Amino acid sequence: MAQIIFDHVTKEYKNEVALKDISFTVDKGEFVFIVGKSGAGKSTLLNLIMKQEDVTSGQIIVEGRRLDTMDAKRVPLHRRRLGIMSPEVGLLKDRSIYDNIRLAILATGNADVRIRSKVIKVLGLVGLAGKYHAYPDELSGGEQARVLLSRALAVQPEILIADEPTANLDPDSAWDLMQLFDELNYRGMTILVASHARELVTIMKKRCITLVAGRLAVDARRSIYDQKAMDIFAERRILEEEEKKSEKMLYLPDNVR
Ligand SMILES: Nc1ncnc2c1ncn2[C@@H]1O[C@H](COP(=O)(O)OP(=O)(O)OP(=O)(O)O)[C@@H](O)[C@H]1O
């Protein structure tokens, strides 16, 4: 059974349709890029999975649990099963790296006495075990990104969700991070990454779900960042809209046209 199911999902804000009639499934152990231009709906899609937002219509099921009918009390538990790397949840600057990760583990309700070895272990996964005493500002951008990944991994997630994780990283650090994602995926973790890092997505050759103005334009396996497909889909949509408008005009009385 699919681990994530989107079934005709639409998300509207007041004056904005952020996602329109999106359907796809993700199996356990898949690596999926969500790509698209700025405003295409990538973050909205990830926020819906994290239940930081609710769908307007349609249904999302994560690991067999329907999110629309999920009891509010269960939402924290749902989020704890996800490893989340989001620009909105940065590192605490006045806390050491060790504390940043320890607090993430404690927030899950895990008061294990071996917490120190756990922190060192997850930092080790991203090659930063030696930096646990450092503060965020003492690390490079690439190292900070790896700490964010390590914090996401601290909850031992089934699914890792990363929203633009390579934004603001130099090419080498971005590539290192992608390699870490690939390694985690190789070990069986499901990975969802929203990105407009065109070259990286193309090199990785993973499944790409391409959004254009909130619509699912392409869903292709072993894909490149397909700018051409995006443009074709966008043009087609504009033509469709124009056709619809002119069809409406045909039925309007002359004095209203
Ligand atoms: N809280 C909100 N209230 C109103 N509109 C919103 C909200 N969040 C997103 N939107 C709108 O929904 C659309 C999709 O936004 P979203 O942030 O999902 O795009 P994105 O593809 O992640 O963009 P970016 O790459 O710039 O982060 C945009 O038009 C945006 O303005």
Q: ipTM for the complex?
A: 0.97
| DSSP 3-state of 129 | helix
pTM of the full structure: 0.89
Question: Which residue carries 């990104």 as its tokens?
Answer: 145
Q: Which CATH class is domain 1-81+158-257?
A: alpha beta
Question: Which residue carries 């973050």 as its tokens?
Answer: 43
Is 201:224 a contact under the CB 8 Å cutoff?
A: yes
Q: Which residue has the higher pLDDT, 59 or 14?
A: 59
Substitution site in 20, 44, 45, 52 for ligand 1 pocket (most atoms within 8 Å of beta carbon): 44
Token pair in block for residue 145: 């990104």
Is 54:72 a contact under the CB 8 Å cutoff?
A: no
* Type of residue numbered 31: F
- Rg (C-alpha) for the chain, rounded Å, is 21
CA distance between the termini of the chain: 52
What is the 44 CA–ligand 1 centroid distance (Å)? Answer: 6
pLDDT tens digit sequence for 117-168: 888 888 988 989 889 899 999 999 999 999 999 999 988 899 999 999 998 8
Cα–Cα nearest to 50, from 33, 37, 31, 65: 65
Residues with beta carbon inside 6 Å of ligand 1?
A: 13, 16, 18, 36, 38-44, 196
pLDDT tens digit sequence for 173-212: 899 999 999 999 999 999 999 998 888 999 999 999 999 9
Is 85:148 a contact under the CB 8 Å cutoff?
A: yes
pLDDT of residue 19: 97
Substitution site in 11, 13, 168 for ligand 1 pocket (most atoms within 8 Å of beta carbon): 13
What is the 18 CA–ligand 1 centroid distance (Å)? Answer: 6
pLDDT tens digit sequence for 208-230: 999 999 999 999 888 777 888 88
Please report which confidence band the pLDDT of residue 256 belongs to, taking 50, 70 and 90 as the band edges: low
pLDDT of 249 over the 80 cut: no
Domain ranges of the chain: 1-81+158-257, 88-156
Average pLDDT, the chain: 89
